Amino acid sequence: MLDNVADTFSSESPLLLGIGYDSHEPIAFSVAWHSACVTTSIPIACMRLAAPVVAAALPTYTRPHDPKQSTEFTYLRFLLPLLASRSTEGGIYFKWALFIDDDMLFTDDIANLVADAWSNSGPDCAVYTVQHPQGLTPTSSTKLANVPQTDYPRKNWSSVMLFNLYHPVMSTLTPEYVSTASPADLHRLLWLTDERKQLGRLPGRWNWLVGWYNSDEHGSASLVHYTDGGPWYPDHRADGMDYGDEWIAALRLFEESLTSQRSLGPYERFSARDPPSPKWSGYPNSDDPYWTPDEEEAWQEHVRTTLIADELIFAKEHGTLPVIDVYVP
C-alpha cells in the first residue's frame, strides 16, 4: 500500500496539509508543519487556515464567531476542500488534503497515515478520521487557556481529517453551508450522505490525545495531539505531559532553521495561576508582563499587518489561500 501512496503524490500534485492557525499560538502551527517536513517521504504542501485570510478569500463565508469555539479555526477546517480545489498556484494541483489542528506533532511519516487510511477502508471514501470512542475521560477539567472541558458525540473526530478531494460529496462544503450548518452537523460529519461508504477509519495513533490516551492501552503516537494544551503553555509545561519533551525537541529543531530569533506568542506568555508558571527565558520578550486579554486588539493588528499580511493580499486577489510552503523530500 505504501508504494501506491508514493505513486500518488509528486511535486506537481503533493499531499496538501491544511493546518489550523490560532494567532495566539503561532509557534504551534510552525512546529506542526516543520515536524511534518522532517518525517515525510512524500511531497507535501501547506496552507495556513487563518480566519482573516479565509474571510478575505471567501466573502460568502459569514459565520460569526461562536463564544463556545476554543480556537479561531474551529469551523474553517470544513472549507479546506473548496480552498484546495481553487488552488492553481505554481501549476500545483491537489487530489488529497489532510486537515490537522495546530496543536499536533508528527513523529511518523505522513505517507503512513495515507497508507493506513487506504488499508483500513480503501481509497474511495470521502473522508477518513480517527473515530475516538465516546466516554474517554480527560485528566484535566480545563484545556488550553483555562477553557472548561465539554464532552459531546464524536469529540475530536474532526481534528484530523483526510479528504478525498475528488469525491462528489465535497461539493456540499460550500461557504454558505459551512456558514449556517450547526456545529453538530459539521463536527459529527453529518454532511456525509452515506456514512457507511463515505467515512473511512484511521488508527488511533494518528490522533493520539495527550491527557486522554495512555501508552499501555493505546500504544505509541504517530501524530501527537496536545488537545488540552501543549508545552508552549507555561501552566501545561509546569505540570508535565506525555510527549512534552518530544515537542520541545521539535521546537528546538525548528528554531535552528530560523535566520533570526523569534518572540514568544500570547499563549507562551499566559498563566492562569497565582503565582504564574514561569515563561521561557532567552527570547526578546521573555521579560514582558504576562499576556492578558487587554493586549488582544493590538495583537490582532500585529497579526494582520505583519504575520499574515501577504496572505491577506493573495486571498483577496485569488479567492483562495496561498500555498505557503512546499516540501519535496
What pLDDT, on the 0 to 100 scale, is given for residue 152? 66
**Top CATH class, 2-327:** alpha beta
Q: Is 206 helix (H, G, I), strand (E, B) or coil?
A: helix
**Residue 215: count of CB within 10 angstroms of its CB:** 11
Return the DSSP state at 229.
-
What pLDDT, on the 0 to 100 scale, is given for residue 306? 97
pLDDT tens digits along 151-167: 667 889 999 999 999 99
Could you tell me if 228 and 138 are in contact, meaning their C-beta atoms sit under 8 angstroms apart? yes
Domain spans of the chain?
2-327
Query: What average pLDDT score do residues 265-284 get?
Result: 97
For strand 325-327 and strand 44-49, is the pairing parallel, antiparallel, or unpaired?
Answer: antiparallel
Task: Share the mean pLDDT of the chain.
Answer: 95
pTM for the model:
0.95
Length of the chain: 329
Minimum mean pLDDT range among 57-66, 126-135, 199-208, 268-277? 126-135
How many whole angstroms separate alpha carbon 41 and alpha carbon 109? Answer: 6
pLDDT tens digits along 43-80: 999 999 999 999 999 999 999 988 888 899 999 999 99
Q: List beta partners, residue 162.
A: 98, 128
What pLDDT, on the 0 to 100 scale, is given for residue 276? 98
Query: What average pLDDT score do residues 213-222 get?
Result: 91
